[in-house]
Structure 1
Amino acid sequence: MVCRSKSQLLKSVVFLGVATLILYELVLWRRLSQVSIPTTSAFPWTNNGQPNPATEAEAEVGGPDAHPLHPILDLINEGHEKFARLQAAHSNTIEQAAGRYRERRGRHPPPGFDDWFKAALKKDAVIVEDFFDRIYHDINPFWALDQLELRRRAHSQPEVIRIRNGKVSLVSEDPDRGNQWMQIWAKLVKEIGHLPDLDMAINVMDETRVLVPWEKIDEYVRKERRTRDIFPASEAVSNYTRYADVDFQPEPYDPHWIGGEAHKYWDHVRATCPPDSESRNISSLPSLNSPVKDIHPTEPIDAYTYKGFIRNFTASQDACVQPHLRGLHGTFVESVSMSTTHELLPIFSGSKLPQNNEILIPGAVYLNNDKRYSGGKGIGGAWEGKMEGIMWRGVASGGRNKVDNWWHFQRHRWVQMMNGTTLQEIIAADEAAAPTFTLLPPSVYNVRARRNGFMGSWLATHADVGVVDLMCCPGEVDSRGKRVHTCSYSSPFLNVVKEKPMKEQYAYKYLPDIDGNSFSGRWRGFLRSTSCPLKATVYTEWHDDRLVPWVHFVPFDNTFMDIYAIMEFFLEGHDAQGKRIAEEGSRWASRVLRRDDMLLYTWRLLLEYARVVDPQRDRLAFVGDLVQETI
């Protein structure tokens, strides 16, 4: 053993202390240098935009040093509370179902309600009265019009599914188009059976048709409320009136279709908005050859968001609270076609804007199991085996994109926003690189990749997004006269990529869905898959009341301004939440979005429709459950 003097020992202790202090300072400096603290943040739930795992549990119990939870976690919790309430309202008996109907609708159910309920039980359907709210939203205004006038309006339309004495027939002005959609819907109606006489006029266009001004619809809705009556069971009539039993003169009816104004469609839509809404008094853009930045929002919309993320999905679809959509969505920029009426016409459609007055039925594309939209028999593999990121393929549909308006279309914007190279060019202050969108300041959503300057590489790693056909209008051809998928005016900004079948898309964890000319036919396929579906849309569909945002899918804004923050949340620390939404959505879709469910929805809808056009509608009712009580 070597002995040291006291002075040597003291020197060693001092040296060791100084060295330790220097090492501590170096470690502390290194950690601090890696932390980027923004000077301002609209939604500062934590310094790096993510809840601190060490304090997340403490935050739930309100610890003094806890970081607030990420707002998406709040929205997920709210969603599950709503979903639990929906499930608790399931009806198991005809007495429960009829009682809940009267409580919610202010009327007796229509005749045939008992047969419908028996079929629903036999098909093991989830019977919740709230699931059918859309039917009454669509049908109720028709109670304000004369029954025979409604029959006349429907009868004279060019595309009609006709039911007489239980037999279904088709009337089609265009047999080819009719075979595409009409045959599919007619087949569903035939499967129902035992329906009363009716004429079911069908919209076979992608675009929506009926836009009744707000004041007129408000008048109709008020009148309908005054007709509600739960009258004594002894006064009920149980049989619908056959068309042959009424002196019905099917004279031609002209809805006064308006065409040729697709580039001014916004002005027809805004007339349907409430007088005090933001969009009501804002006209369509005088010129579409203008920068998107002039109308793009600079922050999230308070009317439907919570700390930047969608809380009210219904309001997020509503153009009446989003005047910027007149220049950010193809429906309002210039649709492929236009045939619009301002009169209330009973016509059925697979989707519509919230402002439209068509009667919704399940989209025909959901009924034919085309693997291009459904993905085929498989719904994807296990979550753990999927790729970390989002996948999207599609054509640049949405309307007539032209040399002087293409940057206003939603799918063009989507593809540019998901391109890492484009993002880096924008961040480097090259605004000309992306004419389709405006990048919000980093402080708005506090996305780490954006703050720290590696947004481009981050997107390139996590987003596989591309368009397979730019669909310019008019279409362009090559030197041999063959149509090409590129466009001379948009190709410098958007590359065309190869198609990827739905089955292969299921290999990714996150599947965003974007509007095309109308609703996206892939939505049901995404919901049924084992991936987590994301949705931005201005369109409503038959099933909307059955799905709960943040439980069965992830909603995002139609500007797509929140998509980077949503990606960061799920891809960096919240994989379990993404998996849960994927599994909940798939399981629930297999329960409430089956073909059987679409049949049951259509069946109940047609019972209501047959009643509202019946001469005896004021006393047509199912009261069997009440009669049994008195025996």
Structure 2
Amino acid sequence: MVSCVVSVASSLYHLWAHTPVPSKIVVGVGSPRHHPIDDLIANATTTLHSLLSKQTTTLTDSASAYRERRGRHPPPGFDVWHSFASAHDAVLVEDFFDRIYDDLGPFWSVPAKQIRQQARQLPNRIVVRNRKVRTRKGDRKRLDQWIDMVQKIQDKLPDLDLPLNMLDEPRVAVSWEDISSYTETAAAARQQQPAHEVVKDFASLDIDSETIEHDEPTFSHESPYWDLVRAGCARDAPSPNISVPTNLSRPVNSPTPFTYEGFVSNWTRAKDPCLQPELASSHGALIAPLSQSTSQTLIPMFSSSKFSMNNDILLPAFAYWQSKSDYATGNSHGPTWDKKITRVVWRGISSGGGNTPENWRQFHRHRFVELMNASAVRSVSAPQTFHLPPYRSRVYTPHNHFELSRWIDAISDVAFTELQCTIGSENECAHATPYYKTAKKVPMNKQFAAKYLPDIDGNGFSGRYLAFLRSTSVPIKATLFAEWHDSRLVPWYHFVPMQNSFVDLYGILAYFVGWMGKDDGVDNGGVVIMEGGHDEQARRIAMQGKQWAEKVLRREDMLVYLLRLLLEYRRVCEDGRDVMGWVDDLLEKG
């Protein structure tokens, strides 16, 4: 068997003190058995090449691609946007901006004046007047990051009010019937006016002097949250008629939809709670969100992330913009692959929602940590948060001597750093304390010494995702949240997708790391023998994700996306929006 030996300097090992760490793991390179992940990786390569074949460089080509995909003319200022993008070497593929049009599409059926006035009435917002951020209103901790972002492009913006969500959780959830009506009406009215009839400039709106004619937006704080948001699912989807189970004391079974032989094959559908009703009782942010303030009316609320049935407008998250935080590692992206240890490292708090003695066993982070704990797996009593047999069935091994707990013990360094449950009560985590031992934090740049970095939702999206993508390690991503950059990333090429039940976690790790047979173990030199791993495939995904993030997820790319988003948003706020656009290229043709 051809093998590669992976080791790390002993000075790093004090970071992994809660379980014994082998000094070396010998990983078998490849398995004679064809694996479904091989096919998924091959398909991902084809998908990326197809995307890149649509890349445009000239203003004329970009405008043509816009009209073909959007069915209308680009917004006023499109030439300024393109010049800005080109000056910053942005990779321009029209598909990369689909999120903007999915989010703003329904607003074309809402009166423009209503959108403007609702934006003015929301408390946390950035105000742009005369090409400058004029006023700052709201919670400064997060708002300041977005202000800094907008200020970088303020000289290219028309007057507008930008309402921002200061919570981790999304804020808008409109019924499927209403959104369908909005979308159908907008689609029926969409057209490309003759070039000579198009209005090419934004009007000088006197927004601040307009008389408010609409009621101030209201927000529901009622629970259960799931019963509020499932109204946003299509009527023929599995979830709209499924209420939250009354008994949340035991884990649910985990089906495997949208997979190829047990591994995620349709990433978009795999993240959609409307298509998987069991997620209503297996993800903390759907069971009991820590903060709940939801509008059931379509209002212009800009957020960092959302579920499929939410109607927030997504923009680059403040967490990705800030240069100093627990998730910002500067130029530290980790050692080269051959210098990394073959370990799965994760640290975090037990967030995800308000977990209680009645519901904590259903929470996603609790389930993930217990899954990667050898003691819990080998326990005489059943695990608290998952059913073991389905997880074992996802491990593709050529023999029946796979010892799960021993394997987990060799590769896993996963722990909570703090138990966080409900807010405001004493001894609030007494229900979880007997099952979880907390560990010290591991700074993110130190986590990069490991090859595998799972990324799990908290109360909202995970702010560490971008740092993981930029690292030299493999991000293993599980999420229900949509973000601005989703259409730029290809699963199985830039990262490894994982189901939110984590039923495929062992199978994913067995593919990349390999497994231990009955007679394998740790010898006197501290060497663990792994069979059938795919170390080279892991290395390629790590490097492909890093190189791609450095091309399309830079701060400059966030600004390119934000400028395009705000030009489109401003057009939707214009009374004469149906005849507005950029058509200089068509007028030049004559």
Q: Is the 8 A contact 2:343 2:451 kept in 1?
A: yes
Partner amino acid, structure 1, of 2:568: E
Equivalent in the alignment of 1:83 = 48
Could you say what secondary structure the match of 1:271 adopts? helix
Distance 1:284 1:343, change over 3 A: same
Distance verdict in 2 for CA 1:246–1:563, change over 3 Å: closer
Q: 1:579 to 1:234 in 2, by over 3 A?
A: same
Counterpart in the other structure of 2:420: 471
Matched position secondary structure for 1:389 = strand
**1:158 alignment counterpart:** 123
Deviation at 1:234, TM superposition (A): 0.2
Select the structure of larger CA radius of gyration.
1
Residue deviations 1:528-550, cap 9 Å, x none?
Answer: 00101110000000000000000
- Cα deviation, 1:432-490, whole Å, max 9, x if unaligned, reads xx22111134773244499425211100111110000011324676xxxxxx8x93211
Shift of 1:616: 1.2
Instruction: Indicate conservation of the 8 Å contact 1:156/1:252, yes or no.
Output: no
Residue 143 of structure 2 aligns to which amino acid in structure 1?
Answer: M
Contact 1:440 1:561 in 2 (8 A): no
Q: Equivalent residues in 2 for 1:369-518 (5 A)?
A: 369-425=323-379, 428=380, 430-431=381-382, 434-441=383-390, 444-448=393-397, 451-474=400-423, 487-518=429-460
Cα distance in 2 for residues equivalent to 1:420 and 1:447: 19
With the length of structure 2 as denominator, give the TM-score of the two structures: 0.89
Structure 1 runs not aligned, ≥5 long = 1-49, 55-66, 478-483
TM superposition shift of 1:421: 1.1
Give how far 1:257 is off. 1.1
Relative to 1, partners in 2 of residues 1:399 and 1:245: Cα closer, same or farther, differing over 3 Å?
closer
- Aligned pairs for 1:274-289 (under 5 A) are 274-288=234-248
Matched with 1:20 is none
- 1:336 corresponds to which letter in structure 2? L
Q: SS of 1:168's equivalent?
A: strand
TM-score (norm 1): 0.83
Does the aligned pair in 1 maintain the 2:29–2:535 contact within 8 Å?
no
Choose from 598, 605, 619 the match for 2:579: 619
User: How far did 1:228 drift?
Assistant: 1.3
Match of 2:91 among 126, 134, 138: 126
Secondary structure in structure 2 of the residue aligned to 1:618:
helix
Residue 469 of structure 1 aligns with an amino acid whose one-letter code is: E
Partner AA of 2:481 in structure 1: Y
Q: Distance in 2 between matches of 1:475 and 1:494?
A: 21
Are the equivalent residues in 2 in contact too, given 1:447–1:564 (CA < 8 A)? Answer: no
- Say whether 1:216 aligns with 2:178: yes
Q: Match for 2:346: what amino acid?
A: W
Instruction: Indicate which of 296, 299, 306 corresponds to 2:253.
Output: 296
Instruction: Verify the 8 A CA contact 2:106 2:183 in the aligned structure 1.
Output: yes
**In 1, are the aligned partners of 2:353 and 2:421 still within 8 Å (CA)?**
no
Sort the Cα spacing of 1:348 and 1:424 in 2 relative to 1 into closer, same or farther, 3 A: same
Q: Does 1:521 align with 2:463?
A: yes
Q: Describe the SS at the equivalent of 2:454.
A: strand
Q: Quick check: 1:581 aligned with 2:541? A: yes
Unpaired stretches in structure 2, ≥5 consecutive residues:
1-27, 515-532
Cα RMSD (Å) of the superposition? 1.9
RCO comparison, higher one (Cα < 8 Å, 6+): 2
Equivalents in 2 of 1:441, 1:51: separation in Å?
A: 26
Residues 449 and 455, structure 1, Cα contact 8 Å, conserved in 2:
no
| Cross-structure match for 2:588 | 628
CA distance in 2, matches of 1:285, 1:51: 45
User: Equivalent residues in 2 for 1:21-60 (5 A)?
Assistant: 53=31
CA distance in 1, matches of 2:507, 2:207: 62
Alignment pair present for 1:143 and 2:108: yes
Give the letter aligned to residue 460 of structure 1: D
Residue correspondences, number: 544
Q: Distance in 2 between matches of 1:151 and 1:349?
A: 17
Pairwise CA distance, 1:251: 4.7
Are the aligned partners of 2:121 and 2:217 in contact in 1 as well (CA < 8 Å)? no
Distance 1:155 1:450 in 2: 65
Establish whether residue 350 from structure 1 lines up as the match of residue 291 from structure 2: no
Q: Paired residue for 2:477?
A: 535
Partner of 2:8: none
Deviation at 1:524, TM superposition (A): 0.3
Match of 1:238, as an amino acid?
A: K
What is the SS of the residue equivalent to 2:348?
Answer: strand
- For residue 200 of structure 1, give the secondary structure of its aligned residue in structure 2: strand
**Distance apart, 1:179 and its partner CA:** 1.4
CA contact (8 A) 1:390 1:512 kept: yes
Q: Which has the higher helix share?
A: 1
What is the CA–CA distance in structure 2 between the aligned matches of 1:450 and 1:254, rounded to whole Å?
64
Determine the C-alpha separation between the residues in 1 that align with 2:112 and 2:297: 15
Secondary structure of 2:376 counterpart: helix
Q: Matches of 1:169 and 1:623 in 2, distance apart?
A: 30
- Cα distance in 2 for partners of 1:442, 1:198 equals 51
Give the corresponding residue for 1:317: 271
1:567 aligns with 2:509: yes
User: How many Å separate the matches in 1 of 2:208 and 2:390?
Assistant: 66
Change (3 A) 1:446 1:114: same
1:296 shift after superposition: 2.1
180, 197, 207: which one aligns with 1:235: 197
What is the deviation of 1:172? 2.6
CA distance in 2, matches of 1:286, 1:226: 43
Pair 212,592 (structure 1): closer, same or farther in 2 beyond 3 Å:
same
The aligned residue for residue 189 of structure 1 is 150
| Secondary structure of the corresponding residue to residue 596 of structure 1 | helix
Q: How far 1:387 sits from its partner (Å)?
A: 0.6
Q: Where does residue 529 of structure 2 map in the other structure?
A: none
1:450–1:366: structure 2 CA closer, same or farther, 3 Å change rule? farther
- What residue identity is the alignment partner of 1:538? L
Contact 1:442 1:451 in 2 (8 A): no
Identity of aligned residues (%): 42
Secondary structure in 1 matching 2:45:
helix
The answer to whether the 8 Å contact 1:76/1:551 transfers is yes
